[in-house]
Amino acid sequence: MTLIAIMAMMAIFAIMLLAVAPSVQHEIQREKELESIRRGEEIAEAIRQYVGFYRGAKLPESMDDLLEGLPQGTKKRMILRPSAATDPLSEDGKWRLIQPGPKEIAAFAKRVQTFNNGLLPDNRRGKDDPDGPHLDRYAVQILVNLNTGTEDETDSSDDEDFDVATDNQPFIGVSSQSRSKSVIAYYGIERHSNWIFTPLFRGYGTTVAGPSRGGSGSGSGFGSGSGSDSGIRPPIRPGSSPR
């Protein structure tokens, strides 16, 4: 084989590598996002257990509060794996702590509602769920905001800078610090910083929330839907993750 033939083969090989590089990078990013969602939803479940244990009177103020677990006799019951406390999408690996105020949570709830064709999940996993009622107290103001605000107002946080608090702040959810556009759509949302992992609005029924088509409030309430027939969809639709 001549030198020219070898160089030609190397050039073809290099072109082939360049052709597959974008798809490889796409797959790597997709896996990072899936892992971030898995960890975020683990944290949401840990928050749910924490709020339920303290009967809604107390929120975690740091990731350490969740990692330390909950008292169970003379021991501690673990509610969060250490690996979940690290966000694979943030440069420093720290989750952004989301306060229970309506500003960001209301915008996220509006997207969840839109994703579910106008249905907003409640906070309860069935009639006998002991934790759901304790979460309701943190959702009331958010429902009021949805009922009295316009769609533009609830979506306004997309274009605003957000404060990054990673410790010493009561939180009802977490989000990534990354502002990048995502490969995966989570509740139809395609930006990492707008994914909020919270136990709020993850129940099996539906609430009555959001302004009506005519612009007037429609009232608010919890548990007005019913179980598996409520039409609530999973945050990532089957088959829609790769794009």
Q: Which of 72, 48, 73, 53 is nearest to 174 (CA)?
A: 48
pLDDT of 154 over the 60 cut: no
Mean pLDDT, rounded, for 162-185: 91
Helix (H) or strand (E) holding 137: helix 132-148
Under the banding of pLDDT at 50, 70 and 90, the label for residue 104 is confident
Mean pLDDT, rounded, for 213-225: 45
Tokens of 55: 């009967």
The Cα 65–Cα 61 span in angstroms is: 7
pLDDT tens, residue by residue, 83-97: 999 999 999 999 999
